[in-house]
Amino acid sequence: MSERTKIKDIARVAGVSTATVSRALSDSSLVTERTREKVREAATRLNYRLNVRARNLRIQKSMAVLLVVRNMSNPFYLEIFKGVEEVARAAGFVLLMGNTEDDHDREVEYFDMLRDGQADGMILMTGNMPADHEIVRDASGMTPIVVALEAIENSNLAHVQIDNCAAAKQAVHHLADLGHKRIAHICGPLPEILSRLRLEGYRKAMAEAGLDIPANYEPVGNYSIQSGCECARALFDDVNPPTALFVANDEMAFGAIGELRRRGLRVPEDVSVVGFDDLFISQSYSPPLTTISQPRVEIGRTAMTMLLDIINARLSSPVVTEMQTSLIVRESTGAADQR
């Protein structure tokens, strides 16, 4: 059976014209989302497999998108990948994963792939971009890049983000409400914007609670378990150790808890700990970790949907979408010891 015959069958099942089927399968902006979904459902029922090579030559697209992250080993990205891939596959795109390891040369390579047409768009999750790259400087139209959960100042790019400052304040207020007065913050890498915003939220919450911040209470990590361990070691080697920690991500929180255990300190009886991200292992960690939860699958879906809108010229200007976070209270936080 020819591809044209199959398209006729899809048109019959979906109740639309063959031209509409062709447009829908190419994710054309001329077709509504409701119609695209009807066509996809009909194509699935008929086990239709698109001739990708022929279509790509016809529409002059690679039908591939890049998801670029700073460290692929971080489990934080897994659920975001799921959400991105779900929407990408439904639109007929292949998802490519890029791992920068915070290496500028690697970042440039991925932007080169986008410039050279090896990918039609990019979801950027590193917080870095080669500002002098020609695809970044191109002012001829909207750059097919969506920045997800990072923040890039003065970039004029579409963003999917959370309110990091407000989420950090919520975490610290939770500890203050439990009676903790000596609350330290293990920061993410500075001067990155996300780390600065979470630090800002920590400082604002401490001020609102009328609590002082000793000079050594803001050690800086790099989001790794090892750096969480090292920051906790510095805090608890001091003569005035905290009774509670707000940590900029869950992995550093795990490292901090490991260091506390090595010192014979109990969580939460001796020290309460709050993380940030709600990794899938956080609920089964010992003790289960109190943390800020981000809707990562939905963030992935939203970022990919936004990227498709840019690729298919359905957006006239960059947009910023803010997703909601929530504090998940588990067993790693408890009332301060008032003795």
* Tens-binned pLDDT, residue by residue, of the chain (339 aa): 444 457 788 888 888 888 788 777 766 667 788 888 888 888 888 877 665 444 544 445 668 899 999 888 888 888 999 999 999 988 889 999 888 887 888 888 888 888 888 889 999 988 766 666 666 655 445 678 898 988 776 677 889 999 999 999 999 999 999 999 999 999 999 888 899 999 999 999 999 999 999 999 999 999 999 999 999 999 999 889 999 999 999 999 999 999 999 999 999 999 999 999 999 999 999 999 999 999 999 999 999 999 999 988 887 777 889 999 999 999 999 999 853
CATH class given for the domain over 7-50: mainly alpha
> What is the structure's pLDDT at 11?
87
Q: Are 34 and 91 spatial neighbours (Cβ–Cβ below 8 Å)?
A: no
- Say whether 164-294 and 62-163+296-324 share the same fold: yes
First vs last C-alpha separation in the chain: 81
Where helices occur in the chain by DSSP H, the ranges are 3-14, 18-25, 33-45, 52-59, 76-90, 104-115, 134-137, 164-177, 193-208, 225-237, 250-262, 296-311
Cβ-in-10-Å burial (0-12, 13-18, 19+) of 183 comes to buried
Residues across the chain: 339
Nearest-angstrom CA–CA distance, 35 and 108: 38
Fold held by 164-294: Rossmann fold (3.40.50)
pTM of the model: 0.77
Specify the CATH number of the domain 62-163+296-324.
3.40.50.2300
Angle at 148 between CA 143 and CA 152, to 5 degrees: 65
Q: Are 265 and 282 spatial neighbours (Cβ–Cβ below 8 Å)?
A: no
> What is the structure's pLDDT at 187?
97
Cβ-in-10-Å burial (0-12, 13-18, 19+) of 84 comes to buried
Residue spans per domain, the chain: 7-50, 62-163+296-324, 164-294
Nearest-angstrom CA–CA distance, 250 and 247: 7
> What is the structure's pLDDT at 140?
46
> What is the structure's pLDDT at 137?
57
Tracing tokens 């800020």 back to the chain, one arrives at 292
